[in-house]
Structure 1
Amino acid sequence: MKWHRLIPVAAAALMAVMISPAGAQGAAAGPKESKPVYSYDDAIRESVWVDTRIDGDSDGKTDRVAVDIVRPREPAQQGRKIPVIMDASPYYACCGRGNESQKKTYDANGKPVQFPLYYDNYFVPRGYGFVAVDLAGTSRSDGCVDVGGRSDVQSAKAVVDWLNGRGKAYTTRTGGAPAKAGWTNGNTGMIGKSYDGTVANGVAATGVEGLKTIVPIGAISSWYDYYFAQGAPLYDSGPEWLSDYVESPEARERCKAVQQKLIDGAPRTGDLTRLWSERDHVPDADKVEASVFVVHGMQDLNVRTKHFGQWWDALADEGVDRKIWLSQTGHVDPFEFRRGDWVKTLHRWFDHELLGYDNGIDREPMADIERAPDQWSTDKVWPPRSTDATTVRPGKGAAPGVGTLGVKRAKPGATETFTDDPKLSETDWAAQIDRSTPSKAGFTTQPLTRDLRLSGSSKVTVTATPSTPTAHLSAVLVDLGPATIRDYADAGEGITTLLERTCWGPSTAGDSSCFKDAAAKTADVDYTVFSRGWADLGTYADPGKGRPLTPGKQYTITLDLAASDHVVPAGHRLALIVGGTDAGLIDPPSTTPTLGIDLHRTAAKLPFVGGDKAFARATAGSGAHTPSGALLDGVAEPRSLRPIPGGTP
């Protein structure tokens, strides 16, 4: 929904009750906030099965997906229609949602009892319907899971169509009476973390009418980039593992052919096949009509920050209305790291986007960014308008592999050499940044005299000579200096779950609104890795197609470093590290090459707020730094993750 198209709604006389935008158009003034005026105990709880109009399991019948609905009873009795908040997920039966892994539950007659999370408890009394969709092949739905493909997206898009009077639904999975959605005005907002948010991205990229906003939390924008980093494989598996993980037991039997297609279409070579192109939402940003509220952890090593960065940039190019929250956490929902502010902000967002209330959220800062645990700043526009890509270059230092970082280009013939060690990670490299070690080449500025902020995505162009026919490259940006950060490498990825609970709306016997609180889990460190990129050197000529390398031949490749927003404080140093396999974050190659780096032909383009002038000011007059060689302290090594875009289900 474009904000400039919004119409003020709701007459002042009806401020005390919920009212649909259609019934209030033309009013001079309207409410600013929906109020909890409807009974949650008396809410209508029902299930329908929506026809997706595709036959994913090839049984000769179009698939139906299960849709569980909870909505206030009073608006329909009063002849008024309401908007819908939807979470379409593959996890409702297999794994659960949220920090407490809640699953849907049903009574003896199959009627829904528990809806995971707080969306129902909080928003239904305020006049919203909540719809929880089981993706095809999961829980009570027909069809097959195709991991981001047409079936996944159509599972949710068909429901949006049905809510807007364009689709068909029935009261049972097979047969059953037709079910109409006459109780809703069709205005739909999709929300969800990870896989759920990824489906929201995919549905928005279809341009479906009636989808007014999406709130993707830690969501994928391109499934190729979930399983590969420019040809370098991740997770030691492909989408077939995830499909098998979430499918219902009966779907596993009927969906073997779909499973095989996932295997055949996603070879571990890292080549960009048709399967991956069909699961890339970024090129379809021009179709997006919904507004987008992005939430992502800047230390998310599951759904990595490249996903929100490339999606955000594409949406910006298309003029899509958008908002963003960036935390210091890993793969964590904002309900667990900023609960009160999050619920308040989400409430205002849905009121504005789905009810049309003029509450001013569209005139507030676009970005909220966590600078230190529980300390937030805002930006009117993100990245800030003064941000400009600035070229910085590595240079030779006094010891092998311990170099400099500045604007001056290294002399022709200047090189550094390292040997890939698949046992070592970015934390090992950063801990020994001032030591000559055989597994990495590190380059640092002198201590900064002013704060230096990087905002957005970076690129590093490396010219390398491998000793073997295959090789991987990693590049990371590091803030060298003491800080207290969220411990994103811990099992909680930056949070600790507490025993105390807070409640967010009314409860029933089978559906509590009370959830365990969480607090920041912090670590005191000497360095912070804040942006990363990986690639198979064999993709030097084409990021979608790998080629064998000729040992001893020089190749130039550009690595995309994931989006971030980080301030390197005065007194700290900024470092660029180039290495081979980043243990736990990409899979190692079949060989362990030695790589020579041509420093004269290697450079990074970094998004400094204030551009090259800001970098020049921050590095001007800084005193000489003598590497001590001491081992620095950071977080634990990144945990090797299974491919579960729901995080810890």
Structure 2
Amino acid sequence: MPIRARGARHRTGPLRSPGFLRSLVFAAVAALAAVLPAPVGAQAAARPTESRPIYSYESAVREAVWVDTGLDADGDGRGDRVAVDIVRPREPAQQGRKVPVIMDASPYYSCCGRGNESQLKTYDAKGDVVQMPLFYDNYFVPRGYAFVGVDLAGTNRSDGCVDVGGRSDVLSAKAVIDWLNGRARAYTSRTGTERATAGWTNGRTGMIGKSWDGTIANGVAATGVEGLKTIVPISSISSWYDYYFAKGAPLYDGGPAELADAVESPDAQAHCAAARQKLVDGSPRSGDWTQLWNDRDYVLRADHVKASVFVVHGMQDLNVRTKNFGQWWDALAANGVERKIWLSQTGHVDPFDYRRDAWVPVLHQWFDHYLLGYDNGIERRPMADIERHPDQWSTDRVWPPSGTSAATVHPVNGPVPGVGALSASPAPAGTASTFTDNPALDESSWAANIDKSTPDKAGFATAPLTKDLRVSGSSRVSVTVTPTTSSAHLSAVLVDVGPDTIRNYAGEGEGILTGTDRTCWGVSTAGDSSCYLTTSADKADVGFTVFSRGWADLGNYASDRKGVPLTPGKAYTITLDLAATDHVVPAGHRLALIVAGTDNGLIDPPPSRPTLTLDLARSGARVPFVGGAGAFARATSGARPNVAAGVPDGTPSSPGIPVPRMAAQRLPGGAGR
């Protein structure tokens, strides 16, 4: 567990205790040691390892500038400028010292709010920011950082048009980093000519944000911009195609234009009709890949990333689904990027709201290391923190853990028709299982009936495991199916069959409950409190847990990028990419694979209602087990199903969590953004 940072927690104003004054003296000495040469042989002893709250938050400089992006997305003949609100400590500039920057570029500062309490920016009569959402400025400005809140193009006080992860979104944020490093122009007003300079910063920038905000951090990092030293993307998108589609299957009944409409400023609403139409034209409901998706796929440009990356994601995030972090992580690893990861049992939730006491000090250490250069050892600590049960965490030195390798498990028929098993050996040629798409049912309905022959699924489960079996990473399920109609959608899910207590990720808080008490993280002012409502785990007792999912339009069997009509009665082979996860199926539970049609609430149904025949001999799942094929063999060795009853032991004794209904597209920020 990282050392807990001390500061102004549980206070709403500056601390004045003798202990605090002593800490100020110590911190001032440490700060001087960071910039003044130490005596020979004394450097190691003099170097600080933690920034301290030595600067006044109440007297911090609050200012606004407008950075020229070099774009004219709204076509008004003037270059678009993005609004940048800054909170920075006053004292370093007076002392001739420069500070690094923590930056959150967001479309939500005026339309929808940030965090669990949906905070908005507020301004004084001069137009300078009074309330900056979230705790970052309250906590980090006294510690010698500037905090910068950027209104993405087309939102709040910025010019331009919302581009939903595209060129304008990314370049409007990148331009701010360029300005911080002396490579771009900024002005003291939206339309004026008075220049603004950033002589107060050393240009070292870290980007952070949840959902759309963190998505922009991914996109900016993929430009390779100089000066961006680290990013902390939370529940963030790495490819916008994978936010809207899964191999041609629609995940939402909306599109990028609807998102743009939700966050646009009044000016953008009036002037950006052409830009919105481009979003409509470039995102056909067919799920075919277009240039629009290519422009918004940061994974393709992961080789440009120079910044370190601290990935945070909920493993049950059904808004920004976990394929987004999995493929991003793999691409970063392939390119040798320094990285760290936290995976929780929550849905679309910020770690500040499910593990606050640990999150703030770890984030503090991360920024201290990558922006201030402190040797605090954060990069040498375990790479991964994984939530196993509500508020119970484990760590791994690397992720996925050493010894993880994919093994193929095969669906085979069992003693009861329609109730199959999972085996290390393939099914005999000619064996099959048949199901009919029922768009009214979902993964919870299928899993609850894993031991029953039902017409809507093909289910396969091991006998109760004799050892724990850990899945870590992304799985792939390849199936050969014959449809009866010209269109078909497929779903595949991995299920842990057995009783457990997990976070209620489908609840209103997606795994958290919001309390009435507050804790404080930094210094407060009359207009900007550092105190936030406490949260606790929202728990659910379940009889099974769906822990990884994947979907596809069978018409995309020959290409990930373009679908075609099917020929009824013809066999097709397609691979479904299951979302990344890290889950332990404990001894006594069973591992199950379910293949079915429409997953109600998570994908849209196809135009027809096909019956599909699954060729078992030509189907299988490649699953990343810690310990590989040997781990699967050991966990299933000696496992004995209850053949007399025709049903394996461990039948679910209580339901799983129902899938949230997909009535309409959600903002990538979700509830509370």
Q: What is the TM-score when the length of structure 2 is the normalising length?
A: 0.93
Task: Answer whether contact 1:240 1:263 (CA < 8 A) is retained.
Answer: yes
* CA–CA separation in structure 2 for the residues paired with 1:636 and 1:274: 36
Residue 603 of structure 1: aligned partner = 620
Cα pair 1:15 1:31 within 8 Å, conserved: no
Determine the structure 1 residue equivalent to 2:204: 187
Whole-angstrom CA distance in 1 between matches of 2:560 and 2:271: 35
1:240 maps onto 2:262 in alignment: no
Distance 1:207 1:352 in 2: 20
SS of residue paired to 2:474: strand
Q: What is the Cα deviation at residue 631 of structure 1? A: 7.0
- Do 2:457 and 2:594's aligned partners in 1 also have CA atoms closer than 8 Å? yes
Please give the alpha-carbon distance, in whole angstroms, between the structure 2 residues aligned to 1:14 and 1:372: 38
Q: CA deviation at 1:17?
A: 4.8
Letter in 2 for 1:16: V
Task: Report the Cα offset of residue 622 of structure 1.
Answer: 1.0
Q: 1:69 to 1:280 in 2, by over 3 A?
A: same
Matched, 1:425 2:436: no
When the two structures are superposed, what TM-score results if normalisation uses the length of structure 1?
A: 0.97
1:401 counterpart (396, 405, 418): 418
CA distance in 2, matches of 1:501, 1:61: 46
Q: Give the drift of 1:375.
A: 0.3
Offset from partner CA, 1:448-504 (integer Å, 9 cap, x none): 000000000000000000111110000000000010000001111000000000000
- Aligned match of 1:357: 374
What is the 5 A alignment of 1:532-547? 532-547=549-564
Name 2:657's counterpart in structure 1: 635
SS of equivalent to 1:200: helix
1:569 equivalent to 2:586? Answer yes
| CA spacing shift, 1:530–1:13, aligned 2, 3 Å | closer
Question: Whole-Å Cα distance in 1 between the matches of residues 437 and 567 of structure 2?
Answer: 17
How does 1:219-368 map onto structure 2 within 5 Å?
219-368=236-385
Which digits, 9 at most, give the CA deviation of each residue in 1:292-335, with x for residues without a partner? 00000000000000000000000000000000000000000000
How far has the Cα of 1:23 moved from its partner? 6.0
Question: 1:108: which partner in 2?
Answer: 125
Give the secondary structure class of the aligned counterpart of 2:491.
strand
- For 1:275 and 1:71, locate their aligned partners in 2 and report how far apart those are by CA, in whole Å: 37
CA distance in structure 2 between the aligned counterparts of 1:146 and 1:121, rounded to whole angstroms: 30
Q: Find the partner of 1:482 among 483, 493, 499.
A: 499
Does residue 647 of structure 1 match 2:670?
A: yes
Report the Cα distance in structure 1 between the residues aligned to 2:557 and 2:35, rounded to whole angstroms: 55
Which residue, 31, 35, 40 being the options, matches 1:18?
31
- What pairs up with 1:468-617 in 2 under 5 angstroms? 468-617=485-634
1:90 aligned to 2:110?
no
The answer as to whether partners of 1:432 and 1:632 remain within 8 angstroms in 2 is no
Within 2, Cα distance between the matches of 1:52 and 1:275?
20
Deviation beyond 3 Å, 4+ runs, structure 1: 12-29, 628-632
Residues 23, 642 of structure 1: CA spacing in aligned structure 2 closer, same or farther, 3 A cutoff? farther
Distance 1:476 1:299, change over 3 A: same
State the 1:108 CA deviation: 1.9
Q: Which amino acid aligns with 1:322?
A: R
Q: Return the alpha-carbon distance in structure 2 between the equivalents of residues 247 and 20 of structure 1.
A: 47
Relative to structure 2, which stretch is displaced further, 28-37 or 321-330? Answer: 28-37
Q: Residue 249 of structure 1: CA displacement? A: 1.7
Structure 1 position 414 matched with structure 2 position 436:
no
Alignment of 1:83-162 (within 5 A): 83-162=100-179
CA–CA distance in structure 2, aligned partners of residues 522 and 416 of structure 1: 36
1-structure distance, mates of 2:237, 2:417 = 39
Q: Deviations over 1:536-566 (max 9, x none)?
A: 0000000111011000000000010000000
Show structure 2 runs of 5+ residues with no match: 1-24
2:26 and 2:668 map into 1 onto residues whose CA distance is: 46
Give distance in 1, aligned partners of 2:136 and 2:32: 19
Deviation digits for residues 12-58 of structure 1, max 9, x if unmatched? 99763536967669944410100000000000000000000111111
Q: Matched residue of 1:16: which SS?
A: helix
Instruction: Tell me the CA shift for residue 507 of structure 1.
Output: 0.5
Give the Å deviation of 1:109: 2.1
CA distance in 2, matches of 1:401, 1:53: 61
Could you give the per-residue CA deviations for residues 248-276 of structure 1, whole angstroms, max 9, x where no partner exists?
12211100000000000110000010110
Q: How does 1:371-382 map to 2 (within 5 A)?
A: 371-382=388-399
Q: Does 1:165 align with 2:199?
A: no
The code of the aligned residue for 1:18 comes to A
Pairwise CA distance, 1:234? 1.8
Distance in structure 2 (CA, Å) of the matches to 1:14 and 1:476: 52
In 2, distance between residues paired with 1:81 and 1:222?
Answer: 35
Secondary structure in structure 2 of the residue aligned to 1:18: helix
Q: Read off the aligned partner of 2:647 and give its amino acid letter.
A: P
SS in 2 for 1:583: coil
1:620 partnered with 2:634: no
Pairs aligned (count): 638
The farther-off stretch of 435-444 and 22-31 is 22-31
CA distance in 1, matches of 2:251, 2:584: 29
2:64 corresponds to: 47
Q: Secondary structure at the match of 1:562?
A: coil
Q: Which amino acid aligns with 2:459?
A: G
Give the corresponding residue for 1:5: none
> In structure 2, what is the equivalent of residue 71 of structure 1?
88
- Is this contact kept in 1: 2:33–2:48, CA < 8 A? no
Partners of 2:512 and 2:53 lie apart in 1 by 30
Cα distance in structure 1, aligned partners of 2:142 and 2:114: 22
Summarize the Cα distance change of 1:22–1:227 in structure 2 as closer, same or farther, 3 Å threshold.
farther
The root-mean-square deviation of aligned C-alpha atoms, in Å, is 1.5
CA distance in 2, matches of 1:427, 1:124: 46
Q: CA–CA distance in 2 between the matches of 1:265 and 1:414?
A: 43
Matched-pair contact (CA < 8 Å) for 1:143–1:251: yes
Against the structure 1 CA distance between its residues 630 and 385, is the aligned structure 2 distance closer, same or farther, given a 3 Å change threshold? closer
2:350 is aligned with what amino acid? D
Residues 450, 249 of structure 1: alpha-carbon distance in 2 compared, 3 angstrom cutoff: same
Deviation at 1:60, TM superposition (A): 1.1
Contact 1:489-1:639 at 8 Å conserved across structures: no
Q: Following the alignment from structure 1 to structure 2, what is the Cα–Cα distance between the partners of residues 428 and 50?
A: 52
| Percent identity between the two aligned chains | 69
User: Per-residue deviation at 1:175?
Assistant: 1.4
Partner Cα distance (2:37, 2:524) in 1: 31
Return closer, same or farther for 1:142/1:588 CA change in 2, 3 Å cut-off. same
2:33 touches 2:47 (CA, 8 Å); kept in 1? no
Give the structure 1 partner of residue 409 of structure 2.
Answer: 392
Letter in 2 for 1:355: L
What's the counterpart of residue 6 of structure 1? none
Secondary structure (helix, strand or coil) at the match of 2:580 reads strand
Q: Tell me how far 1:61 sits from its aligned partner.
A: 1.1
Deviation at 1:151, TM superposition (A): 0.3
